[in-house]
Structure 1
């Protein structure tokens, strides 16, 4: 699909979903009118609207693939609820930006895992995508704390996964474990936590005291005696 056509599809879908938001029976779960001062309810309402827009864009862009995936309304509702829960730590604007990026670059309906990865790329702070972070964690030499990491989140995800486990386990088993820890750390970063690398203990400074000639000779004699020379 040409980029111009894709952009038009996105704009049309966004306009349509804006008119229909929260009126469709396929909305992502029941909603309540939020209190003006209740931020949590307001955020959830915005998230539900964003998820509805995402699925509306997918429906228009992927058509047959969409209807094959969601053969009935109940499946669609369940999927929306799952996506709402899994993407709740992202800003609605990040979710919509990720949706646009996926539509422009992919001809296939994305999985939830693909959407999570794209949201991570579209977020404010630039974090390596999960598999690149995994490869970096596996290849980093020891001591790990002195490696020039692309982001501290990679180090802490590797630490949580266990370095030996990463180095001794096939990727098919190790990558899912690393991804889970990495997403947890990335969520902390997006919530404002500043990650710092651990400070290494300084090695004790060498003895700077100059020994006298007699002391050096005494040490040398003791060393020869100990070695039976």
Structure 2
């Protein structure tokens, strides 16, 4: 008998769901061993534990079983306390291509030479946050005023990543044979004033 494509897709989806359930059962077992007292305090009965597993299963649906297990192992190494769902989302998203902390990302963005798109970034999120904050603004303002602007953009980019959005890689820029004429002091001052007005600082 011919099997429909829909039926086949449903079977695949069910297999993936079962694999995630197995991974989560293993995760909860690891967390119980590592955070024994905290775990028993958080999940005092079977009903609460099952409710938590359903919540985690739904919240971590964007990650593979391998990523979920890796996230739990990172939690055990890094976290003193039993991780929340929000923390697990961050730990699962880190993966091999780990997000740098905001201060390290800011330094990387400020120190990268031009053209920015041609640099090897630790994570595309750093490039996208730097571009959103405006490279000129970052280069021409002290850290006390530039870092909060960058950190705000970086936080938004990271939240988009955690929500499952993928960031496009920076598009390589072909170097021009004739370098652009540098802006005069007056033009620099005007551009800086415009940026300050846009950012309300």
Q: Which residue of 2 aligns with 1:180?
A: 159
Cα distance in 1 for residues equivalent to 2:21 and 2:99: 26
Distance 2:150 2:119 in 1: 22
TM-score using structure 1 length: 0.52
1:44 is matched with which residue?
17
Q: 2:84 aligns with which of 94, 107, 111?
A: 111
Q: Which runs of 5+ in 1 are unaligned?
A: 1-33, 190-194, 207-229
Count of residue pairs brought into register by the alignment: 162
Name the stretch that deviates more: 89-98 or 69-78.
Answer: 69-78
- Quote the residue 1:29 is aligned against: none
> Match of 2:192?
none
- In the TM superposition, residue 196 of structure 1 has moved relative to its aligned partner by 3.7
Given that residues 140 and 147 in structure 1 are in contact (C-alpha distance below 8 angstroms), is that contact kept between their aligned partners in structure 2?
A: no
Is the CA contact 1:35–1:41 (under 8 Å) kept in the aligned structure 2?
A: no
Q: Where does residue 154 of structure 1 map in the other structure?
A: 126
Give secondary structure in 1 for the equivalent of 2:101. Answer: helix
Mark the runs of 5 or more structure 2 residues left unpaired by the alignment. 1-6, 139-145, 180-201
Mapped partners of 1:57, 1:74: distance in 2: 19
CA 1:176–1:76: 2 relative to 1, 3 Å: farther
Q: Contact 1:131–1:175 (CA<8 Å) still a contact in 2?
A: no
User: Is 2:109–2:127's contact at 8 Å kept on the other side of the alignment?
Assistant: no
In 2, Cα distance between equivalents of 1:80 and 1:86: 10
1:131 aligned onto 2:131: no
**What is the aligned counterpart of 1:98 among 71, 74, 78?**
71
C-alpha separation in 2, matches of 1:171 and 1:203: 28
Q: Give the deviation of 1:54 after TM superposition.
A: 1.1
Which structure has the bigger radius of gyration? 1
Structure 2 match to 1:223:
none
Q: 1: distance between equivalents of 2:177 and 2:118?
A: 18
SS at match of 2:166: helix
TM-score scaled by length of structure 2: 0.58
- Please give the secondary structure, in 2, of the residue aligned with 1:38: helix
Deviation, 1:75, is 4.0
Contact 1:54 1:99 in 2 (8 A): yes
